[in-house]
Each structure stands twice: as C-alpha cells, then as structure tokens.
Amino acid sequence: MIIYCGLAEWVFYRIWIMYFIRGLNSLHYLEWKLIYVGSAEDETYDQLLESVLVGPVNANPPDPSKIREEDIIGVTVLLLTCSYLGQEFVRVGYYVNNDYEDEQLREEPPTKVLIDKVQRNILSDKPRVTKFPINFYPENTEAAEEPPAKDQPAKTDGNEEQLPASPHHALDKEGP
C-alpha cells in the first residue's frame, strides 16, 4: 500500500491511496481476505471466510486557509489511520516537504505564501508504521487487551524514527 502524489503543485495536488505494482501504470483495489487455516502443513484445507475489495481511495488536497501561514512551507506529516469502534490501532505516516519549486522563491521567500507556487513532495517510499493495542472485544472484558501505559511507546515496524504526534489529532491527546 502506498500514498501516491510525488511532486505536485499544491493546487493540483490529490492523494491516492492504492496498491501499486512497480512497472505498471495502473491503480488496483486492495483485497482483504479472512482465511481460516485448517492445517499448518497443507493450505488446501484453508477456508476463505470473506474477501473484500477496497480502494483506490482518492482524497482532495488540504485546505491552505486552515493552515497557519508559517506552517505551509516546510516539513509536515500525512497520516493514514485505521480504527475499530473508535479506537485507533494502526497509523501509517509519511513525511511531506512543501517548498517553492522556483529557486529564487526558496532563497528569498515572499512575505505572503504564494500557494500556487508551492510544490509538495510526499516521501511515499519511507512510511512509518505504528501499531496500538486496543480492545477488539469490548463486550468481553476478559479478552480485552490493555493499552500500553502513557510512558511506554507503541509498537512500531522497526524504523527507529517516529513521526511526531499531530497536535490536532484527537487520539494523540491525553484523555479527560
């Protein structure tokens, strides 16, 4: 799964979440399968319980009027999250660099951001994945997983760098 945008001017920017096979210029659906493994030695005993196709997902660019002027140029993060019953259990983050395409504008930026001159580069080949334990069985408290303590980090995909928490992301904030 990748986030695709690459280099794009802000006004023409769209985000595609898709499954991409290198070398093919086409978008494909992601197929999620639920399989019951009937035998560890022979997959002919496996049973496909359900199969669901998802995507490609197409998203509009962010609204620059909702971003502080001083935060438009520079590095930020694009987050793709997945939740179950309102509990986030996985987050995929991509670093994004917004800058002027024109070298002169980069060296001598105008006082007011020229949004139509801003170019965005999503580092889609370097995602950061964070997993959070959640309660998948809220009706059965015995099977519930306890979330990690606030001072313990969530499980990651092994990448040392962690994405900064989004100050506006409700699940990153402390509880009441």
User: What confidence tier does 47 reach under pLDDT thresholds 50, 70, 90?
Assistant: confident
Q: What is the mean pLDDT of residues 41-67?
A: 84
**Single-letter amino acid, residue 117:** K
- Residue 136: band (very low, low, confident or very high) from pLDDT cuts 50, 70, 90: confident
Ordered by start, the domain boundaries in the chain are 2-166
pLDDT digits (tens, 9 = 90+) for 11-38: 444 555 544 444 444 566 667 777 888 8
Full-prediction pTM beyond 0.85?
no
Answer whether residue 131 shows pLDDT above 80: yes
Nearest CA to 121 out of 11, 13, 27 is that of 13
pLDDT digit string, tens, across residues 89-126: 888 888 989 999 999 999 999 999 999 899 988 888 88
Question: What per-residue confidence (pLDDT) applies to 145?
Answer: 54
Could you tell me which of 8, 54, 50, 5 has the C-alpha nearest to residue 28?
Answer: 54
Q: Is 76 left (phi over 0), alpha (psi -120 to 50) or beta?
A: beta
Residues 164-174: what's their mean pLDDT?
Answer: 39
Cα 62 from Cα 13, distance rounded (Å) = 9
* Cβ 104 vs Cβ 97: under 8 Å: no
**Which fold is adopted by the domain 2-166?**
Immunoglobulin-like (2.60.40)
